[in-house]
């Protein structure tokens, strides 16, 4: 049971309100309903109250059908003549019907929502909310939401709309919330900085608003709560990091200069700047906690190699505890192998001893003995590095590539492999750019280096939005053109027909959803391009199978690779110059940009096609991806359009899951920062506000890199 101030706790205890009690404690929620809710993360009373409406509608004044004009409309009527068909030359279903009231009737259309055939009763009235627009020469209501009129509580204010979970629709949530209406008075306050009863008042306004102003004021306070918790977690992380010690790595200018001069290419200014920032950090006896971010192909691996070389020092002359070791952790065996093949020879010329450690490594016991004795300087590998029997003589630097692929516990396990009493320096790398506001707010004092230049020879990717309707006329000819081109790399000369193609699908198996699966799309493309080699890849395949497919693709033995987003982080294939993303409107902006980064890695022109469902109007998100290759610009746009959850969830293992707050609200952030500092002046608060501290602990785990 959560504790608050003494007075609040006593009040809460008398009212018997336990926010951490099972959701079954609430009226109307039996075992079956609770089981559904728990599958979607609503396990406690607190989870239930914080399951906030996704939107609001005002059903009190629907428009008569004869009076509607193009734009967003709310109408009330009965639906008839429902039917569904498959579109010619398209991979989608079209469900149509006619909605009528006393004044007239209009056509309604849904794409890939055939379940609508089973949703409606012909003798009942529904509220329909959607966009009334001209399509293919006639007006229609496109993909409207629908609510049974008898289930909608008519008020003069906004009516909340909840996300459906399993068999529980929005109306079910409204009824359940209404059954617990009297419980809102028993919700205790969370923060000491708020006026008494502020939380329960704000939650009540969000669920039972009398006006749009109620929604706004309620959400603003709840957003403040979230920002407070987030900033508090970052502040505590900073306090903890300041207690740690690390090995100081002196900067050796002449060694670094000779190494850079030996490279067959020139470093970009961004790479030089990032390396210098890292060198300065590692000279301190406090552990570096730096994030290196840059788009795919911006040269992060080269900066990692420079950092590793600086740490190992005069490697050939040192053994055992005298050496300084580096661990480079990659999410897949094939990516680890790629790093080993590029970094190993590059540093080997200077006496640096590099080893590859994956599940497939032979004579692992012998290699691990060499690592423990300090006979290996740089260990590049996958999860095999994390096992308890992998010990280091003197681990001084940890480099984690695509670090969001590793959980907090996995990262911390590697960090604990340093000598007793010391923590290694940490360099985490990501191709997911983080908006500046997110850096400052979520990570507190996290140091960030940015690679905002592409090395010479990299080509920008031309991006275009196409509808499924245009596949035959525009997409398939482009695919033929790509396949006919001369391979981009000599490595592919003896295998590939020409350049190669990625095709991304949403589902793995047929029949799971309305979208075309990886397996079905692979079959279709094999039939269409019978002279080409088409294979598929997805996350449920065994690691060895996935690696084998990616190796064949990298070697040019596969012309078209149909895959889920498992290729979002993968091997470098310069010969792949076309990325096709099906159902593009269902992906986040950051993920679209990350997938696009799989192509354009060679000297040839590269393309990304965003395929949309039916004749849906492209969203602003897709338009932004189409017109910009700048990952940092897109990250800022994503923050504004979708909030921080997706960006942060992609950056860290574990979603930030901010329900309301937006990190672009500088006024709210400034207020919360001030209150956090005030809260920390009284150590008793850390014991007194237990519910708050439990929430903080969750945020602490996902707002730190080490």
> Residue 420 in 3-state DSSP?
coil
Tell me, what's the pLDDT at 523? 92
Tell me, what's the pLDDT at 326? 95
Confidence of residue 653 (pLDDT cuts 50, 70, 90): very low
Tell me, what's the pLDDT at 534? 94
Lowest average pLDDT, out of 43-57, 121-135, 156-170, 172-186, goes to: 156-170
Question: Residue 5 above 50 pLDDT?
Answer: no
- Which among 339, 244, 334, 322 is positioned nearest to 288, based on CA atoms? 244
593: which residues sit within 8 A by CB, 6+ positions away? 295, 625, 631, 634
- pLDDT tens digits, residue range 78-119? 999 999 888 765 567 889 999 999 999 999 999 888 889 888
The H-or-E segment that residue 363 falls in is: none
Question: Residue 672 above 60 pLDDT?
Answer: yes
Tell me, what's the pLDDT at 7? 35
**Residue 611 has which token pair?**
């395929």
The size of the chain, in residues, is 706
Tell me, what's the pLDDT at 270? 92
683 to 240, 344, 677: CA distances (angstroms): 15, 50, 11
* Contact call for residues 167 and 118 (beta carbons, < 8 A): no
- pLDDT tens digits, residue range 479-504? 999 998 888 665 544 455 689 999 99
Question: Residue 465 above 70 pLDDT?
Answer: yes
Question: Residue 302 above 90 pLDDT?
Answer: yes
Confidence of residue 558 (pLDDT cuts 50, 70, 90): very high
Residue 36, judged by CB atoms within 10 A of its CB (0-12, 13-18, 19+), counts as middle
Question: Residue 322 above 80 pLDDT?
Answer: no
Q: Quick one: angle between helices 589-596 and 620-627, nearest 10?
A: 30
Other beta carbons within 10 Å of 136: 7
Rg (CA), the chain: 28
599 against 460, higher pLDDT: 599
Which domains does the chain show, CATH number per domain?
60-151 (2.40.50.140), 253-451 (3.40.50.300), 461-628 (3.40.50.300)
Say how far apart CA 430 and CA 449 lie, in whole Å. 11
**Could you tell me how far CA 199 lies from the centroid of its own chain?**
29
Tell me, what's the pLDDT at 663? 64
Confidence of residue 560 (pLDDT cuts 50, 70, 90): very high
Q: Quick one: angle between helices 589-596 and 631-642, nearest 10?
A: 160
| Averaged pLDDT of the chain | 82
702: which residues sit within 8 A by CB, 6+ positions away? 408, 648, 652, 653, 654, 655, 656
Q: Quick one: angle between helices 644-651 and 631-642, nearest 10?
A: 130
Say how far apart CA 633 and CA 637 lie, in whole Å. 6
- pLDDT tens digits, residue range 337-365? 889 988 999 999 998 999 999 988 889 99
Per the listing, tokens 């910009």 go with 628
Q: Quick one: angle between helices 644-651 and 589-596, nearest 10?
A: 40
**Residue 628 has which token pair?**
């910009």
- Which among 414, 354, 349 is positioned nearest to 378, based on CA atoms? 354
For CA atoms 480, 598, 438, 583, the dihedral sign is positive
- Which among 53, 49, 23 is positioned nearest to 38, based on CA atoms? 23
Helices marked H in 197-299 = 198-207, 212-241, 253-261, 269-282
Say how far apart CA 576 and CA 570 lie, in whole Å. 12
For 283, list phi and psi in degrees, rounded to 5: -70, -20
Tell me, what's the pLDDT at 10? 31
354 to 350, 385, 570: CA distances (angstroms): 11, 14, 22
Say how far apart CA 100 and CA 94 lie, in whole Å. 20
Tell me, what's the pLDDT at 89? 53
> Residue 152 in 3-state DSSP?
coil
For CA atoms 201, 204, 205, 209, the dihedral sign is negative
Say how far apart CA 594 and CA 589 lie, in whole Å. 9
């Amino acid at each position: 049971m959560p504790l608050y101030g003494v007075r609040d706790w006593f009040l809460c205890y008398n009212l018997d309100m336990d926010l951490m009690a099972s959701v079954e404690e609430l009226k109307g929620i039996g075992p079956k309903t609770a089981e559904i809710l728990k599958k979607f993360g609503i396990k406690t009373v607190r989870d239930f109250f914080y399951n906030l409406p996704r939107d609001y509608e005002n059903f009190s004044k629907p428009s008569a059908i004869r009076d509607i004009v193009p734009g967003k409309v709310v109408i009330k009527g009965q639906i008839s003549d429902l039917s569904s068909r498959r579109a010619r030359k398209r991979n989608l279903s079209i469900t149509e019907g006619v909605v009528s009231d006393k004044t007239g009737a209009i056509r309604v259309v849904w794409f890939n929502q055939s379940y609508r055939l089973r949703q409606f009763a012909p003798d009942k009235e529904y509220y329909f909310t959607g966009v009334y627009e001209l399509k293919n020469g006639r007006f229609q209501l496109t993909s409207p939401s629908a609510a049974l009129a008898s289930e909608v509580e008519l008020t003069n204010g906004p009516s909340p709309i909840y996300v459906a979970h399993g068999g529980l629709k929005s109306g079910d949530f409204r009824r359940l919330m209404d059954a617990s209406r009297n419980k809102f008075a028993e919700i205790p306050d969370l923060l000491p900085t708020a006026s008494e009863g502020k939380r329960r008042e704000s939650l009540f306004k969000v669920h039972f608003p009398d006006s749009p102003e109620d929604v706004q004021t309620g959400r603003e306070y709840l957003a403040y709560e979230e920002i407070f918790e987030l900033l508090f977690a970052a502040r505590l992380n900073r306090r903890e990091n300041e207690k740690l010690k690390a090995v100081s790595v002196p900067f050796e200018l002449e060694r670094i200069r000779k190494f850079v001069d030996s490279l067959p290419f020139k470093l970009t200014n961004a790479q030089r700047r990032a390396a210098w920032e890292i060198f300065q950090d590692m000279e301190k006896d406090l552990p570096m906690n730096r994030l290196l971010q840059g788009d795919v192909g911006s040269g992060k691996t080269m900066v990692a190699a420079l950092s590793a070389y600086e740490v190992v020092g005069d490697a050939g002359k040192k053994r055992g505890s005298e050496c300084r070791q580096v661990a480079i952790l990659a999410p897949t065996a094939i990516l680890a192998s790629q790093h080993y093949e590029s970094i190993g020879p590059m540093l080997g010329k200077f006496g640096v001893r590099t080893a590859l450690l994956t599940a497939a490594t032979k004579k692992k016991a012998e290699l691990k003995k060499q690592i423990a004795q300090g006979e290996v300087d740089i260990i590049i590998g996958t999860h095999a590095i994390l096992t308890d029997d992998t010990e280091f003589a003197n681990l001084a630097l940890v480099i984690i590539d695509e670090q969001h692929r590793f959980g907090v516990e996995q990262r911390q396990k590697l960090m604990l492999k340093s000598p007793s009493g010391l923590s290694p320096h940490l360099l985490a790398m990501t191709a997911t750019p983080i908006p500046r506001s997110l850096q400052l707010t979520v990570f507190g004092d996290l140091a960030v280096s940015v690679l905002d230049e592409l090395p010479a020879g990299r080509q920008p990717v031309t991006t275009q939005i196409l509808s499924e309707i245009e596949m035959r006329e525009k997409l398939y000819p482009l695919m033929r053109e790509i396949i006919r081109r001369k391979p981009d790399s000599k490595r592919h000369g003896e295998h590939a027909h020409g350049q190669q193609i990625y095709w991304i699908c949403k589902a793995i198996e047929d029949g799971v959803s309305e979208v075309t699966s990886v397996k079905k799309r692979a079959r279709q493309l094999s039939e269409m391009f019978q002279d080409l080699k088409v294979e598929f890849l997805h996350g449920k395949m065994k690691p060895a199978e996935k690696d084998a497919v990616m190796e064949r693709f990298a070697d040019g033995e596969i012309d078209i690779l149909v895959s889920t987003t498992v290729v979002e982080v993968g091997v470098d294939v310069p010969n792949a110059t076309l990325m096709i993303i099906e159902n593009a409107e269902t992906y986040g902006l950051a993920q679209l940009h990350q997938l696009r980064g799989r192509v354009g890695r060679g000297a040839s022109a590269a393309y990304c096609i965003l395929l949309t469902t039916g004749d849906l109007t492209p969203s602003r998100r897709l338009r932004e991806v189409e017109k910009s290759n700048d990952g940092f610009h897109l990250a800022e746009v994503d923050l504004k359009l979708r909030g921080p959850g997706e960006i942060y969830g992609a950056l860290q293992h574990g979603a930030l899951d901010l329900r309301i707050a937006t990190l672009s609200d500088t006024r709210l952030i400034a207020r919360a920062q001030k209150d956090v500092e005030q809260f920390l002046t009284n150590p008793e608060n850390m014991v007194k506000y237990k519910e708050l501290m439990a929430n903080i602990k969750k945020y602490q785990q996902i707002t730190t890199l080490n």
